[in-house]
Structure 1
Amino acid sequence: MGQPALILLGREFDGFRRAVSAHAVAWPSVGSDGIRATWLGLPELEAAALGPTAPDADLFVVPADWLPALAAGGRIRPLTPYLDQTPPEGWPDAWSPSFHEGITWGDDVYGLPFHDGPQLLFTRPSLLAEQGLQPPATWSELLAQAAALQERGVRAGTVLAGKPDGHNNVYDLVLHLRRFGGDLVDGNGRIVLDTAPMRTALAFLREVVTTLVSPTAAAMDSNASGDEFAGGRVGVTVNWAGYASLAAAGAVADDFACAVVPTHDDGSPTVTVNAFWVTCVSTACADPDRAWDYLRHATSAAMDLETTRAGASGARRSTWADADLLVAHPEHALFEQAHASSRPLPPVPELPALVGVLNTLVDEVVWHGEPVDPALATATAAVADLAPPLP
């Protein structure tokens, strides 16, 4: 009789479903029924993984941002002993160094990259040519070109995803917070929000929202913002690389291009947000050795390539350089350069709760135009009440 299936808990997304199915079918685990996956919406997944009761699962597929909270709460196992004894193929150099900060908390690694797609610049070559423009190299050029390409009632200059779901609205804030010289934590690792760079970033985003995006963007999630560009309703934007697939299947299929994110005006690279997904092993797993065997298999070069073929986005350098894959997904050739100036959100256990605070701050100030002083005071008070998860 075969061993029971390992239970995997992850976010509902067709690409994730197909990728895990492909990994499970190819898993050479003798006497095993493989993987039984349960897929949830993002809020439901967060409630299950980080809620008061540990879920009945052997493996999690979650945002890397959650790893410190999951580790501090005793929900996931450190993988360092397995990495020392039976590392995955090519570990660690098969992955960009930009991933390692995001999978490490304290002295241990807690997850391995599953799905990735860095922030890239999306442009419309025909529109640029009409204006005699080259793709924007700096943020100042991007804003000027967005204004030039805007056509009221037809096409917005750019797009931001304003839906208060703690995703693009928060990542856009952090991108520009860093661009203006700030971050979410100070030099001592303390969360600090009321800073000059934070105020500048909020003011910048408010200006973009009121001058260069469609009024409907306030209700868009990240997927809808990708659809806006794919549908030809946006001139130029910075968004996740995965939305190149939407563009390739949309109205702009023959008229879009990707490049790395614009630099600062002095030519120095922008530090983008590396928001990626990981697979980790639950402390509730009764057979962690078998779970590791699956995880090691699923992160192999062959399976990482299958992740991209399934509609997600693999995280290994070999996938990004695969000649056959680049024919259909030429944007992958940019990933190595994009990751060279990419960092995850700060690895603090309070991060999932902090994202909720930032979500409210951006919604109030950027999208609804509320005064920044009281909004920042409320956010600062909320941060003071955050506490790391308890085991």
Structure 2
Amino acid sequence: MPLVVVGISVLILLLLMTRLKLNGFAALLLVAVGVAVVQGIPVAEIPDVLSEGIGGQIGDTMLVIGLGAMVGRIMGDSGAAQRIAGKMLDAFGQRGVQVAMVATSMLIGVTMFYEVAFIIIVPIAFTLVRVTRANLLWVGLPMSIALSTMHSFLPPHPGPTAVAATFHASVGLTLFYGLFIAVPIGAFIALLWPRLPFVRAMSPSVPKGLVSEREFTDEEMPGLGWSLLVALFPVVLIAGAAVVDMADSDETPLLHTIAFLGSAPVALLLTLCLAVWAFGPRIGRSLADVSASCTSAAQAMAMILLVIGAGGAFKNVLVEGGISDYIKDVTGGWSVSPIILAWLIAVILRIALGSATVAVVTASGVVLPLVAGGGVSPEIMVLAVSCGSIAFSHVNDPGFWLFKEYFNLSVTQAIKVRTSYTTVLSVLGLGGVLIMEQIVDGIGL
């Protein structure tokens, strides 16, 4: 039974990494090969399946993570990250750091992918940890939870947008409904989770090489204006392109140009160029010093990228092994509320496959006849599927490894923190969707 294979593979992976202390990259590849063999993928094709999984995952994330890490390190080594962190402390106070992180993450995360927004904001979180001497999870976890909520629940992120297209739902109306669910639920979990005893018992350190250890004087730091300009520059480009795309679907050269400039790799590349000048020659730092910052960031990212790529290989083996097709066949005849069925299928696919985007796209195909049959708003159904896709993030989810590596956690710790918060977000999201359905039906929308 395919789901049994998934369960056993996850247990073996945990054993390899926790008991035998095998490197995550090697462990993921070994388990992926084993699953491929058990699922009947021809031996001659397994290397290609692994390569496609690694290539697809790294292709999506390497440019974003690599460029983002370089921008973050340049900001840290110049004092710009400390300048922003200091102003956040002045505005919110040390007690309000979490609120500041949640508000910032939600504003940025509405239009930006989880990984992109994470890479942009995390240097500020690291600097706040160093300045305040607070626990890394106390500052960083609210950021991650808020970004996870925005990315999984709302368009224009890829999963919800793809489902909206399948269901012929209004992207704007889906976003409008979704904000009433995502903002309160995301903020509640983001502020609650760092206070839970099992989270407070963890005290991870900031990973080496991703943040400057130096504390700058006020005179040494660049001005707040330049610091914010560089930090927000990719946000403006990416968010602006997303808004224009939602507002105007006509194919014109101007829109193509805006889409190009607003793509995450291009926006971050332009930001890197701006950061190199603004925090290099403009303030008297040599290009050699700035280049050293970029090199240091790239070295620190090497293992993180390898592990994320191996996670992509594991995910691709599960997809190519026919597990998603099996789940579609099993759940196709279930007689359940359309909203709950849509959510549940997305949850099962997410657990089995790891990829939230694959989960929502596959689930949307299964429940499309229910939407076509009427009775439930297509926008509500989009949110139901999207909420299901965030549940149970674990070792077959490349985003799990990004979270684990940046917050310097063991596999067991990452499961306790990330798997638990994503699951609770999903369940509360389903409750919010059911309530929203009653409201929409009640007012006749």
**By the TM > 0.5 criterion, same fold?**
no
- Give the TM-score taking structure 1 as reference length: 0.30
Say which structure is richer in strand: 1
Say which structure is richer in helix: 2
Query: Taking CA–CA contacts closer than 8 Å with sequence separation of 6 or more, which of the two structures ends up with the larger relative contact order?
Result: 1
- Give the TM-score taking structure 2 as reference length: 0.27
